[in-house]
Every structure is written in C-alpha cells, then in structure tokens.
Amino acid sequence: MTPATFIATLSWNVTAYDLYLRALATYYPITRERLFKALEFLQRAIDTDKDCGPALSLAAMCQMRLVREGWAQEPEAAGRNGVELARQALQAAGDDPGILANAAFVLANFGEEIGAMMALVDRALTITPSFSRGWFLSGVLRLWAGQHDLAIEHAETALRLSPRERAGTPLSLIGEAYFFKREFEEAASKLLLSVQENPGYPHSYRILAACYVHMGQLEEARAIIARLRGITAHLVPSAAQLRRAADRELFLSGLRMAVGETV
C-alpha cells in the first residue's frame, strides 16, 4: 500500500474497503462468473460509501470486461456504466495509483484520447514505480496505441515485479504485441502459455486463432475457436480500442477467417 493509498483509506468506510478487497481477490483470474461475483461485492461497497475510489474504479473495470468479452446482458448500458464509474473514480482518486490506472484503462477502452490516458498511467507509475499492475495496464495502453515494443517492455516489467501473483494477463499482452509485430511463432508460444495459465480468458484465444491463420495453420485456428465458443458466444469483437488501422485489420482478418466469416 502506498502512502497516498494509506491516507485515503482513513477517509473510506471500513466496510466498503473490506468489500472492495474481497472483490479484488475475486477479480483474477478473469472469468464470467468471477466478474459478476466481484461486481456483487463492489456494488455493496459503493452502496456503503459512494466515494470509495478503489471500488468505483474496479467496478468500472468489471463493466468494461463484461462488454469486451461478450458477457454483458446489455452491452450499451454496461459501457455507459463503466465510463460513469471511471469518471466518478477519478474524482475520488487523489494520488491513488490504482484508481488512476484503472480509470485510465477503462476510459481508453471506450474511446478517450489515448495519449491523455497514458499520461494518467504514467502519473500512477511516477507515484509508485513498483506498481506491477500499473505497468501491465500501461503496457496494454501502449499496445492499443501501436507502441508494440514498449508494450512488451512494460509487460515484462510487470512480470519481474510480480512473478508469482500475476496482476493482469501479461503473457497474453506480450503474445499480442508480438502478433502485431508479425513475429507469429513467438506470439503463439506466449499465447499458448497464457491460455494454459488462464483458460477462462477469451481474448487470448481470439489473438491465438488469428495468429494461427496468419501462420497458415487454419485447422489449429479452428480448434482454438471451438474452445473459445465454450467460453463466450462473442467471437469477433469490434477491436475499436486498437488505434492503428493496420493492427485492427491484421487481427480481424485472421479472426474472421478462423471463425469462418467472409473477410
């Protein structure tokens, strides 16, 4: 816990913060069931203390994940809720690096200017340079901005800082960055490890299937899609978070071919 976070906890309701910690312990590894359970804890926390920044920011993350992975019953409403929760979290953030990073991640996903959101995460890492999850989220934003080498560097920093207690899905991030660098063999090896480590996380399957297509291994790609269908019916996302058109095209063309859609 950083000094800024410790000071902030003095103003948060103890019950609300305890519920937040229970939600955080539930959030990883990411699965549909764990996200909904985490949201139950977080809603109780927010009902107890509407200014509990950690609960607001993690609830925003949950809503975003439900939309991205196709698990939200009403995606548009979940997206609006995610943005509103992120904005409320920023108002309560102060200098808490976890809140800053989570809120920036959610807002970037929903289309906020990527440079401004990277600056927010940079601020979080300036406050706490050893913040593993902050480095992971920074890596994701760099990936979305098309800064693939920096994405790998930041994900590897996250792994060094927290090799056992994984904060996020750094192997998936590294694999995805290699995919966009068109280093498909390296990408596939990392993505396979990610799938083994977190078999309930859909995005690794999507990237791996697209990777196999671009490697000319359509049969393997189709096998990965068969596994993805057991996790979510949302096979082909919009990929709007990727700011480079070339990255979107590489991903979606491969994924659609793996799914069997006309490209």
Is pLDDT of 3 > 80?
A: no
Q: 259 vs 120, 212, 215, 223, 232, CA distance in Å?
A: 37, 12, 15, 10, 13
Where are the chain's structural domains? 1-129, 164-263
Mean pLDDT of the chain: 93
The 3-class secondary structure across 190-212, one letter per residue, is HHHHHHHHCCCCHHHHHHHHHHH
Whether 155 contacts 136, CB under 8 Å: yes
The region, left, alpha or beta by phi > 0 then psi within -120 to 50, assigned to residue 141 is alpha
CATH number of 1-129: 1.25.40.10
Is pLDDT of 4 > 50?
A: no
Instruction: Read off the amino acid at residue 74.
Output: E
- Rg for the chain, CA atoms, rounded: 18
> What pLDDT does 29 receive?
84
End-to-end CA distance of the chain: 48
Dihedral of alpha carbons 98, 99, 101, 103, sign: positive
Q: Please write the tens of the pLDDT for every residue from 120-150.
A: 999 999 999 999 999 999 999 999 999 999 9
> What pLDDT does 6 receive?
45
Give me the mean pLDDT over the 17-27 stretch: 94
Q: Please write the tens of the pLDDT for every residue from 44-59.
A: 999 999 999 999 999 9
d(CA 93, CA 54): 8
Other Cβ atoms within 10 Å of 127 Cβ, number: 19
Q: List all residues 6 or more positions away from 72 whose beta carbon is below 8 Å from its beta carbon.
A: 63, 66, 78, 79
> What pLDDT does 10 receive?
45
> So what CATH class is 164-263?
mainly alpha
Q: Please write the tens of the pLDDT for every residue from 173-231.
A: 999 999 999 999 999 999 999 999 999 999 999 999 999 999 999 999 999 999 999 99
> What pLDDT does 156 receive?
96
Topology alike, domains 1-129 and 164-263: yes
Q: List all residues 6 or more positions away from 90 whose beta carbon is below 8 Å from its beta carbon.
A: 99, 100, 103
d(CA 236, CA 256): 7
Return phi, psi of residue 225, to 5°.
-65, -35
Instruction: Read off the amino acid at residue 15.
Output: T
Q: Which of 59, 60, 56 is nearest to 13 (CA)?
A: 56
d(CA 142, CA 152): 9
Q: What's the pTM?
A: 0.90
| More confidently predicted of 8 and 198 | 198
